[in-house]
Amino acid sequence: MTAARTTPSAHTPQPGQTGQPGHMAELGLRERKKLKTRIAIREATYRLIEEQGYDATTVEQIAEAAEVSASTVFRYFPTKEDIVLTDEYDPLLEDELRARPADEPIMESLRHVLRRAVVVGFTEEPEVSRLRTRLMVEVPAVRSRMMESMSVTGRMLCRVIAERTGRDAADLEVRVFSMGLIGALTETSAYWAEHGHKDDLGDLVDRTLTTLTTGFASGQG
């Protein structure tokens, strides 16, 4: 989910928190340098977009602001859209789901993990969360790239759900459920942005999961 991709673990550096020695010490020197570069590129991108808009912001400007070369930017992020959308935490969502009790209904596991992700993600980076979802609504290229990114998350969900249910990840039902959830969460992010980020995102996620669980009733909402 764009606005709340996953829940960072206690040992994972947060974007913009490069001064946390306890976190950074967990990584080797090479990894720390790479992470700092990624963070610098992201922060420069967010700042420039806020100042002059998405379309007016070029990779060359981002590179200059981040004090790296344009080729370095492309080495870390294949497209400008990837700078906005990519984070370090996707693998953690899979870990969080696998850490839930094996006998817990999968929808309850998802509710717990996604709700926690929303709270942590928005608390740590509220402006980034708003910017990402606003761009998703306003910029077709960002929305298109986000859909590609979320399809990767959907395939991950297929694996976890298959393990929890004893099904094959390629089964139609598993794929429909997983990708249906991804589509629902994408629309939740869009709804949040289209309504000026006034709603509590965690409550919107709860409503989304409830709709998927109980179905849609005419006249409600």
Q: Does residue 218 fall inside a structural domain? A: no
pLDDT at 88: 57
Report the run of H or E that residue 177 belongs to, with start and end. helix 172-194
CA angle 34, 139, 53 (to 5 degrees): 70
Q: Does residue 21 fall inside a structural domain? A: yes
For the record, the structure tokens of 86 come out as 């990519």
Q: What is the DSSP secondary-structure string of 135-166?
A: HHHH-HHHHHHHHHHHHHHHHHHHHHHHHHHT
pLDDT at 19: 39
The whole-angstrom separation of Cα 23 and Cα 27 is 8
pLDDT in tens, 157-212: 999 999 988 999 999 999 999 999 999 999 999 999 999 999 999 999 999 999 99
14 by DSSP, 3-state: which? coil
> What domain range is 6 assigned to?
1-213
Q: Does residue 174 fall inside a structural domain? A: yes
Closest CA relative to residue 149, chosen from 56, 205, 60, 86: 86
Tally the residues of the chain: 221
CATH classification at residue 185: 1.10.357.10
For the record, the structure tokens of 48 come out as 């420039």
Residue 22, pLDDT above cutoff 60 = no
Residue 45, pLDDT above cutoff 50 = yes
- Phi–psi pair at 204, nearest 5 degrees: -65, -40
- Among the residue ranges 39-53, 132-146, 154-168, 204-218, the one predicted with the least confidence is 204-218
Q: Does residue 1 fall inside a structural domain? A: yes
Total structural domains within the chain? 1
pLDDT at 152: 85
Q: Does residue 193 fall inside a structural domain? A: yes
Q: Does residue 68 fall inside a structural domain? A: yes
Is there a contact between 147 and 186 (Cβ–Cβ < 8 Å)? yes
The whole-angstrom separation of Cα 145 and Cα 98 is 27
